[in-house]
Structure 1
C-alpha cells in the first residue's frame, strides 16, 4: 500500500471507530508526515482527497478538521452547516441514470475512444448541444460550438490567446468568480475591474473603461452572479451589447447557472447579440457534477480557429467518455427531467433562505437573495476581515467562504459574504442562518 493510501485508510478507520470525532482537528501536515515517514506533499494529497470526499474540511490558517457523521438519509449530524460549497448536492445527482449513459457511451464511441479525437469536440455531442441550447434561447450551429475540459480551461485559453480587436486587457466584474481571477494572474494577463454590487454596474463607468481601457473582452456572469447572486435586466443586457459594438469589445458570457433560472423569459446576452461580440460559456458542473469536466463554448467565426489552436496544444481533446456520456444524457431526455427537479430544489432552498432572513432582521446587513441558483450574498457596512469572524463561525458549526478571494488586489475588501445553499438542506438553512446573522451583526 502506498503512503498516500495508508494515510487515507488511517484517517477513515479512526473516523469509523469515532477515535476522530466530528469537528476534531487533525494533526498538522508536518506531524502526520513524521508519523508516516513521508513528505508533507504526500500528506497534503491525502487530506485533499478526503476533503473532496467530504470526510474532512479545511479552515485557512487553522488546519484540517473532521466532518460530522451522516445519518441514514445522508444528512450530517452534529457537523458543520455548509454555506461554503459551490458544488451540487451529491444526494440529488442522478448517478444510476448517468451510469447507464456511460455504458451506452462506450458502445457509441467504441472506435473513437481508441484513437485521437476532434479537438473541437465529439460530433455527437456538438449536434446534441445545438438542439439543447435552443432551450436557453441560444440559436447557433454545431460548427460554432467547442467543447473544453471544464470552464476553467476555456477561461484560461481566452486569457492567453490574442483577439481580433488587437486589444490586450481583460475587464472583469468585482467581485467575480475566483477561478477567473486565478487564470488572469497565472497567465499574466493585463486586467482591470469594475464594481458590481446588488444593483449591477455603473454603465457610465463601463463606457469609460471600454473607451480608454484597451479592453479585448469583458467577462461577466449575467444571471445568478457568483458571488452576489445578482442578475442583469433585459435593458441592461441590451445596453451592454450596444457599448460592446460601439467600442469593439468582446463579451465573455459565463452562463453556468442557466439551468436554475425560473423565468423562461430571462434570455442570455447571446440571444440579443447581432454583431458576433458574445462568447457564450455553458458548463455542466453546477447542475450535474464537477468531475464530468465538460464545458461548451459558442465562438464567433473570427475567434474559433485561434481558440482551437490553443486548445489543441493544451490537451489535444476533451475526454471522449465524458462527452459521449453527456450526449446520451442530454439526448435521451433524462437531463430535462432532472433539470426540472433540481430547479425546484434550489428554488425551494432560496425561498426558505428569504423567509428565514425576514424572520431575523438585523440592522446594517444588506441581503441579495435570488429566486434560485446556488448563491445569495450579504453585505456588511463595516469592512470585516474573515479571520475576525471565522472563530465564531467555527464555534457555531458554520462553514463560510472567505469572499475576499473574489477580488483583484486593488479592489479587495471584506464587505461581501457569499452564502451558498448548494449543500445546505432546508433544516440546515433554518438552523444556520439565524446564527450567521447574529455573528455578522456582532462584527458589523
Structure 2
C-alpha cells in the first residue's frame, strides 16, 4: 500500500526546538533550550482540589461534550479580565482554544491563502512560523530592534497586501524584548493607516518582574487587533487552555474552523482552570512566578557577564523567560549546539529558525526558568569556555 502525501504535508518540517528537547531529556544535560515554565510554579494542590470539587458537584458536564466557544464561566472571566474603559468585550468575541498554538492554527486557516503576505517581526516565534507555514503564505520580515518592529521601515511597499502582522509585544519569544508604549502607539497608527490587521500573541504579558503591565495592542484598537492569551505560562501548560479575543465576525469563523478541528477544548480542563482562578488566585500566584523568574534571570545575566568572552552581547529582559544572545559573526550556533551537547553537556536553541527570512546564524535563545541557580552558573561557565575556544579559532 502506497500512501501519497499532500504537497502541504511534504513541506512539513519538525520543530527545531522539539528535536532539541529530545536530547535534553538526558539527565546529564543542562538545558537552556526549552521554553517551558518552571514546574515549581504549578499549583498542584489547587488543581487536585478543583478536580475533586468538579467530579463531586458536576461530573457529567465536566466529562461530556461542550460548546465549541468554550465553557461560559471561563469566557466570562476572560471578558472581565480584559475589558477596558472604551474597549469593552462581548462574550461572543471570546473563543477558548486548546492552547494558544491552536489559536495560531485557526487564524492561519481563516486568514491565509496560498501566497498571502503575512508580516512578522525579526526574529519571531518559531511555533507561529511553523503553524502559518501550513497555509503557504509569503512571509514578510519587518526590520526590528530591541524595542520591536521599526516603524519607519513599515513603508507602504512593506505593508501593502498584508493579510495581517503577527507580533508579541511583551517579552517576546525568542528575544525577551518588550515593546514600549510609544512604539505600540506608532505601530497601531501605521497599521490602521495601512489597513493592516494585527495579531497580538501575549502569553508572557503578566510576567513583568516589576509587576507593571503595559496596555495591550487590542485595548488600543479593538477593531483592528486579535488578542491571543494562554494559561500555560501562568498556570499549567499540560491542561492546554488558551483563548482568542477577536472582532465578532472573525470570532465566528474561528469557531467554525475549530468545529472542524476538535469540536471543543476539553470540558474538564476548562473547568479546572476556572475553578482555580475564579476567585482571584492568579493575583496572588503570578507575583510568586515573577519573583522566581527575576531571580533566575539575574543569575544568568551575572553568569553571562562573568563567563562569556568579548564580542558577545545580550539583552537584559524586564520579564518573561528568555535571553537573546549574539555571538561573533563567524560562529554558527547550529554547529555550536552539537559541540555544546557533545563536549559540555549543555543545550540551547540556535537563533536561525526564528527568522522567517535571512536567518542570523550567530544568535541563540537561552531560557533560564527551569534551571536552578547553581546549574545556571555551571552551565553558562561551560558554554562560555566553548564559545571562547570557537572565538580563538
Q: Fold-level match, TM-score > 0.5?
A: yes
Equivalent of 2:286, from 326, 339, 342?
Answer: 339
C-alpha change, 1:374 and 1:332, in structure 2 (3 Å) is same
The answer on 1:150 being equivalent to 2:96 is no
- Aligned twin of 1:9: none
In 1, Cα distance between equivalents of 2:99 and 2:327: 33
From 32, 51, 67, the counterpart of 1:102? 51
- Per the alignment, in what secondary structure is the counterpart of residue 161 of structure 1? helix
The list of structure 1 runs, each at least 4 consecutive aligned residues, that deviate by more than 4 angstroms after superposition, is 57-60, 63-66
Provide the rounded CA distance (Å) in 2 between the counterparts of 1:241 and 1:354.
Answer: 33
Alignment deviations for residues 149-195 of structure 1 (CA, whole Å, 9 cap, x no partner)? 111111111112148xxx93211112211111111222223322223
Once the two structures are superposed, what CA deviation does each residue of 1:214-269 show, in whole Å capped at 9, x if it has no partner?
Answer: 11110001010111111111010001100111111111111100121134242222
Is residue 218 of structure 1 aligned with residue 176 of structure 2? no
2:275 equivalent among 312, 317, 328: 328
Q: TM-score, normalised by structure 2?
A: 0.86
Instruction: Pick from 188, 192, 195 the counterpart of residue 140 of structure 2.
Output: 192
Query: 1:48 is matched with which residue?
Result: none
Q: In 2, distance between residues paired with 1:159 and 1:247?
A: 20
Report the counterpart of residue 270 of structure 1 in structure 2.
Answer: 218
- What pairs up with 1:47-86 in 2 under 5 angstroms? 67-68=26-27, 79-86=28-35
- Kindly tell me the number of residue pairs found equivalent between the two proteins: 369
Q: Distance in 2 between matches of 1:102 and 1:138?
A: 34
> SS at 2:349's partner residue?
coil
Secondary structure of the residue that 1:259 maps to in structure 2? Answer: coil
Q: Determine the C-alpha separation between the residues in 2 that align with 1:247 and 1:195.
A: 17
Alignment of 1:278-289 (within 5 A): 278-289=225-236
Q: Distance in 2 between matches of 1:65 and 1:198?
A: 29
Bigger RCO (CA 8 Å, 6+ sep)? 2
**Counterpart of 1:378?**
325
Q: Which residue of 2 aligns with 1:121?
A: 70
Which residue, 156, 163, 173 being the options, matches 1:208?
A: 156
2:126 to 178, 185, 189: 178
1:115: Cα distance to partner?
4.3
CA distance in 1, matches of 2:290, 2:83: 18
3-state secondary structure, aligned to 1:323: helix
1:318-349 alpha-carbon deviations (Å, 9 max, x no partner): 11001111111111333322211111100111
Following superposition, the deviation at residue 311 of structure 1 comes to 1.2
Distance of aligned partners of 1:64 and 1:377 in 2 relative to their CA distance in 1, 3 Å threshold: closer
Residues 222 and 422 from structure 1, CA distance in 2 versus in 1: closer, same or farther, beyond 3 angstroms?
A: same
* Counterpart-to-counterpart distance in 2, 1:360 and 1:177: 28
Does the C-alpha gap of structure 1 residues 128 and 64 become closer, same or farther in structure 2, counting only changes over 3 Å? closer
Once residues 104 and 245 of structure 1 are traced to their aligned partners in structure 2, the CA distance between those partners, rounded to angstroms, is 47
Closer, same or farther: CA 255–108 of 1 in aligned 2, 3 Å: farther
Deviations 1:377-428 (A, max 9, x none): 11123152234212431222211123222122x3223122101012112111
Query: For the residues of structure 2 that align with 1:347 and 1:269, how far apart are their CA atoms?
Result: 25
The answer as to whether partners of 2:24 and 2:30 remain within 8 angstroms in 1 is: no
State the Cα distance separating 1:373 from its structure 2 match: 1.3
Contact 1:364 1:441 in 2 (8 A): no
Is 1:130 aligned to 2:79, yes or no?
yes
Distance in 1 separating the partners of 2:23 and 2:300: 28
Contact 1:280 1:298 in 2 (8 A): yes
Aligned partner of 1:93 in structure 2 is 42
List alignment gaps of at least 5 residues for structure 1: 1-56, 69-78
Aligned to 1:390, the other structure's residue is in SS state: helix
Q: When the two structures are superposed, what TM-score results if normalisation uses the length of structure 1?
A: 0.77
Segments of 5+ residues of structure 2 without an aligned counterpart are 1-17
